[in-house]
Amino acid sequence: MKTISYISAIVLAMVAFICIVSPATAVIQEMTFKGEVTNVDVDNQTLYATFTQSYGYDNGVEEEPVCGFSDLETAIDASSLALDPSMLTAIESGDKIIVTTLGGEDGEWITTAKITADENENVVATDVWGDISTISSVVDLFGAYDITYVTMPDCETCEGTVCTAVSANVTITNGEEVTSQTLAPGEETFVSGAESQVTIVFVSGQASSESCSEEAPMMVGPQAISNFIVTVVPVMVEEAAETLPMEEVVPATEEPVTSEEVAVTLEEPTEVPVEPVVTESS
C-alpha cells in the first residue's frame, strides 16, 4: 500500500507540474490567470486588471486530477504595459481576459487573451496578444482554431539559451491542417472559415539557441518567447429574405386597391332600356 501511495503522489505531482509550467521546458515560472479589466490607460499605454482565478492543478472531488481554473483566495490587482497599441482600443474596462505572466503573479504579461462565451456558453478567445503557445491548452480560439508555431533562430544573435528569431513557421488547424506558412517579423496570414476569419501577425520573437550548436550543450536559462497578434472575426451570414423590408415585398408595378374601387365592383350592373327599332315600309 505504501508503494501504491508513493506512486500516486508522484503522478499527482507530475500533473501539477505540467499544469503550472507551460511549456514544460520553461525555466522562468509562467503563471496563467483569469480576471477582468478595470482600467485602460491610453495615455500611459497601460492595462489594469483584477485576477480572480489561476490555472493549475485542481483535484477537487474528481477521481482523476485535472488542469483548470480555480478561485484565488485573494484577488490580485495587476497591471502591464500594452504589448501592442491595438490592445488599447480592442480591450475595454469590464472585458474578461486570460493573462500569462513571466516570473510569478507580479511578473511581465507575456500573453493577453480577450475572452467571451460562444453560442454554447463555452469560453473562447477572440483576440490574443503575445506568445500564443502559453494559452493553447488553456482556452480555445473562437471557431475552434488551433495555432502552433516554430521559430527559426539567427545564430549570430544568440545570448545564452535564446536567439532572435528570423522567422516563424505558423500552422493553423481546425480538426485538420488548414494552412502552414513561414512569416518574417511584421508579416501576417489569415484563414477564412464558415464561422470566422482568423488573422495572425508575427510581430517579433525568439528561438532556442540549441539548434545553433552541433554539440547541443546542456545550458540552463530563460525560455524563448515570441509576440503575435491574433484576431478572430465572426462571419455573419444572413438570409436575403430576412433583410428585405416588408414594404418591398409587394411589386412596385401593382397599384394599391382603394375602398371606393372595391365598393364599385360589388354594385349590381344597371340595366339600360333598349328602344324598339321602327322601319318605314315603302
User: Would you kindly state where each structural domain of the chain is located, as residue ranges?
Assistant: 1-116, 143-237
Q: What are phi and psi of 6, to 5 degrees?
A: -65, -45
> Could you tell me the pLDDT band of residue 265, with boundaries at 50, 70 and 90?
very low
Is the sign of the CA dihedral 131, 187, 114, 74 positive or negative? positive
Q: Which CATH architecture has domain 1-116?
A: Beta Barrel (2.40)
Assigned C-alpha cell, 200? 495572425
Note the pLDDT of residue 24.
Answer: 37
Closest by CA to 35, choosing from 65, 79, 2, 1, is 79
The predicted structure's pLDDT at residue 63: 54
pLDDT in tens, 164-183: 999 999 999 887 778 899 99
User: What confidence tier does 276 reach under pLDDT thresholds 50, 70, 90?
Assistant: low
268 alpha-carbon distance from chain centroid: 72
Sign of CA dihedral 61, 62, 64, 66: negative
Measure the CA–CA gap between 100 and 20, rounded to whole angstroms: 11
Regarding predicted confidence, which is higher, 166 or 239?
166
pLDDT exceeds cutoff 90 at 249? no
Pair 126, 98: CB distance under 8 Å = no
Lowest mean pLDDT among 132-141, 153-162, 181-190, 216-225: 216-225
| Partner residues linked to 191 by β-bridges | 198
Q: What integer pLDDT is reported at residue 175 of this predicted model?
A: 78
| Residue 204's pLDDT band (cuts 50, 70, 90) | very high
Q: Which amino acid is at 261?
A: E
- Asked whether residue 45 carries a pLDDT value surpassing 80, the answer given is yes
Pairing type for strands 30-41 and 188-192 reads: unpaired
14: cell is: 507530475
Q: Round to whole Å and give the CA distance between 201 and 230.
A: 7
Q: Which residue would you say has higher pLDDT here, 153 or 121?
A: 153
Least confident of 35-44, 85-94, 112-121, 256-265: 256-265
pLDDT, average across residues 197-225: 85
Distances (CA, A) of 104 to 87, 157, 265: 22, 27, 87
- pLDDT averaged over the chain? 78
